[in-house]
Amino acid sequence: MYDFEYHRAASLDDAAGKLKSADDGTLVAGGMTLIPTLKLRLASPSDLIDISGLAELSGIKAEGDAVVVGAATIHAAVAASSDVRAKIPALADLAELIGDAQVRNRGTLGGSIANNDPTADYPAALLALGATIRTDHREIAADDYFEGLFETALDAGEIITQVAFPVPEKASYQKFPNPASRYALVGVFVAKGPSGVRVAVTGAGLDGVFRVTEMETALAENFSPDAIKDVSVSADGLNADIHAGADYRAHLIGVLARRAVADCT
């Protein structure tokens, strides 16, 4: 790890100010990706601005027809939240499947989606549920937010504050973990909600999370596993590595989508 200046932000404004004045500053909340990157000397930020304790970024609350989760909320809190469990159980299930207990007690929702790792779990939930990302400047629809591998619609210096998840009629997340890292080799989030039926896939796409519209159309007509049993997902554009070829990932998307539909509650 190279040397850097550490700052604990006093407020959201303070964090934004410190980030702006730093040479090459970066925000840190849980640090579950950033700290290993620093330890491997793959990044050398001048300043780390810690936003993990900020009141503006914390808390989970029901807000009309949505559940709003503060960006600095740890995965364990989402998994344990009675609001989330009651309104969007699939989201609580997803949070419970992230990493291990240590990661779930440090890693945050905001950190996960700001990083937009193509094998992270949360992006599938945001896209399938039609969530809205709130920042210190604006609101961004999930559909417009994920822009590819580790790329998002966030501007430089923009800070995620909350994510609003519309409550669906039913939803399920099915994850096939990478046997080594336990990130999603393939993760499929199926939701039937205000934005219609959505099938979002993480882990598999070369450009990160994506939707399978052919399945969505079929499910909109007939919400049952059988409705998508003949929908084949193309291996084009899917990731291939030592754990799974693109064709196997494509196959798993089908299997997991059917299981998600069957599991939808």
Partner 1 sequence: MTDTGIGAAVRRKEDHRFLTGRGTYTDDINRPGQTYAHILRSPHAHARIKSIDVSAAAKASGVVAVFTGADMAADGVGGLPCGWQIHSKDGSPMAEPAHPPLVTDKVCHVGDQVAVIIAESRTQAKDAAEKINVDYEELPAVIDMTAAIKDGSPLTHDDVAANICYDWHLGEKEPVDEGFAKAKHVAKIDIVNNRLIANAIEPRVAIGDYDPSSGEYTLYTTSQNPHVIRLLMGAFVLQIPEHKLRVVAPDVGGGFGSKIYHYAEEAILTWAAGKVKRPIKWTAERSESFISDCHGRDHVTHAELALDGDGKFLALRVSTLANMGAYLSTFAPCIPTYLHGTLLAGVYTTPAIYVEVKAVFTNTVPVDAYRGAGRPEASYLLERLVDRAAREMGLDPADIRRKNFIPADAFPYQTPVALQYDSGDYTATFDAAIKIADVDGFAARKAAAGKAGKLRGLGYSTYVEACGIAPSAVAGALGARAGLYESAEVRVHPTGSVTVFAGSHSHGQGHETTFAQLVSDSLGIPFENVDVVHGDTGKVQFGMGTYGSRSLAVGGEAIMKALGKVIDKATKIAAHVLETSEADIEFKDGQFTVAGTDKSMAFGDVALTAYVPHNFPHETLEPGLDESAFYDPANFTFPAGCHICEVEVDPETGVVEVIDFTAVDDVGRVINPMIVEGQVQGGVAQGIGQALLEECVYDESGQLVTGSYMDYTMPRASNLPNITVANETTLCAHNSLGVKGCGEVGAIGSPPAVINAVVDALSDFGVTDIAMPATPEKVWRAIQSAQAAG
Strand order in the sheet with 160-166: 60-63, 66-70, 160-166, 132-135, 139-141
Q: Select from 42, 82, 155, 179 the one that contacts partner 1 (CB under 8 A).
A: 179
In terms of CB distance, is 157 or 245 closer to partner 1? Answer: 245
Q: Is 149 in the site for partner 1 (CB under 8 A)?
A: no
Q: How far is the CB of 244 from partner 1 (least distance, A)?
A: 5
Q: How far is the CB of 230 from partner 1 (least distance, A)?
A: 15
In terms of CB distance, is 17 or 245 closer to partner 1? Answer: 245
Size of the site for partner 1 (CB under 8 A): 16
Q: Select from 1, 55, 220, 262 the one that contacts partner 1 (CB under 8 A).
A: 1
Q: Select from 23, 42, 180, 221 the one that contacts partner 1 (CB under 8 A).
A: 180
Q: Is 4 in the site for partner 1 (CB under 8 A)?
A: no
Alpha-carbon distance 140 to 120, whole Å?
19
Q: How far is the CB of 196 from partner 1 (least distance, A)?
A: 27
Per-residue binder mask for partner 1 (CB under 8 A), 15-54, x = binder? -------------------------xx-------------
Q: How far is the CB of 256 from partner 1 (least distance, A)?
A: 8
Q: How far is the CB of 181 from partner 1 (least distance, A)?
A: 4
3-state secondary structure the chain: CCCCEEEECCCHHHHHHHHHHCCCEEEECCCCCHHHHHHCCCCCCCEEEECCCCHHHCCEEEECCEEEEECCCEHHHHHHCHHHHHHCHHHHHHHHCCCCHHHHCCCEHHHHHHHCCCCCCHHHHHHHHCCEEEECCCEEEHHHHECCCCCECCCCCCCEEEEEEECCCEEEEEEEECCCCCCEEEEEEEEEECCEEEEEEECCECCCCEECHHHHHHHHHCCCHHHHCCCCCCCCCECCECCECHHHHHHHHHHHHHHHHHHCC
In terms of CB distance, is 100 or 155 closer to partner 1? Answer: 100
Q: What are phi and psi of 153, to 5 degrees?
A: -80, 0
Q: Is 255 in the site for partner 1 (CB under 8 A)?
A: yes
Using CB under 8 A as the binding rule, the residues of this chain from 186 to 245 that contact partner 1 are 241-245
In terms of CB distance, is 192 or 258 closer to partner 1? Answer: 258
Six token digits for residue 9: 């932000």
In terms of CB distance, is 176 or 210 closer to partner 1? Answer: 176
Contact footprint for partner 1 (CB under 8 A) = 1, 40-41, 176, 179-181, 241-245, 248, 251-252, 255
